[in-house]
A and B are shown apart, each in its own frame.
Chain A
Amino acid sequence: MEKSPHVDHWVTVTTSSGMFSSEYAIALKLASGQVVSFFADKALIKEQQGKSFLKVTLVNQNPAQHKELVLLPTETFETASRWAEIVTE
């Protein structure tokens, strides 16, 4: 059903047990250094080489500054926003 031109985009996060069995509690470090938290369905998480990756929507990239703006699946507790600027690896 996906007709979107948006390609799946994955960002590194830290996961721990969520409230519901079908979700994780997520910790994500923003470009500002602030660590934010929120919940995400386990279906949005992939594990690879000991790291956890969260599926997000890529909104904009700034390769020169190694930053990107992404749209999170849900708003964070700490910023009350789904928009997140993060540092690319």
Chain B
Amino acid sequence: MILSNVEIVRCLKAGLFSISPIAGDDPTTSPFNTSAVDLRLGEEILVPDEKSAPVQLDLRKPGIAQFWAKHSKSLKITNHQPFSLTPNKLVLARTCETVSFPLNTTEICYSARVEGRSSLARCGILVHFTAPTIHAGFSGSITLEIINLGSHDFLLTPAMFICQLIIEEVKGCPVTAPNQFKGQTSPAGVL
């Protein structure tokens, strides 16, 4: 069941999940819509390297994450220096907000889906594709795959409302707590 704006605020105040820093807490104004909450674009944009040599990605082989870390460039955008996304260009970005949907067995779990915004869609901007699910148990900022399918350059500016989060209840606990924690890897002073 999708949570309404009022229910999202109630759950946030009850600490059932978190969105931080959220742009407001009045469910009748931005960043809330009737059944979603809008999130903002962070300041870091990742631009994948243009292919300089033949590369064939094989997900069966280890080191894919390390490959992408090596073959992308990080840029910081500001209001004075936004990023101009040209047609057919893909970049990665993250939301300003960090979200957390804890796993628990005593309360209802929640998950979410990140979706685009109609205003950006009209401009040909996709802010994610194929991977909208924010799973129960996830904690962190949301990575966006932004591509310009329009015919004009599009400016990405920090803190612009870039996507919306639709939040749902998860029926049943995804993971039951183990009875024993023997052998746990627990560096002293960390837990």
Q: Which residues of B contact A89 (CB under 8 A)?
A: 185
Check B65 against A26 for contact (C-beta < 8 Å). yes
Check A58 against B104 for contact (C-beta < 8 Å). no
- How many residues of A are in contact with the other chain, CB < 8 A? 53
Check B181 against A41 for contact (C-beta < 8 Å). no
Given A5-B177, A20-B94, check contact A41 B66 (CB 8 Å): no
Q: Which residues of B contact A4 (CB under 8 A)?
A: 102-105, 177
- How many residues of B are in contact with the other chain, CB < 8 A? 49
Interface of chain B: mostly helix, strand, loop or mixed? loop
Check A1 against B18 for contact (C-beta < 8 Å). yes
A42–B139 Cα distance when bound, in Å, is 12
Check A77 against B185 for contact (C-beta < 8 Å). no
Complex interface residues of chain A between 40 and 70 (CB less than 8 A to chain B) = 41, 43-44, 46, 48-49, 51, 53, 57-61, 63, 66, 68
7 pairs of residues in contact across A and B, judged by CB atoms under 8 Å = A9-B185, A25-B66, A27-B66, A44-B139, A49-B187, A68-B183, A74-B138
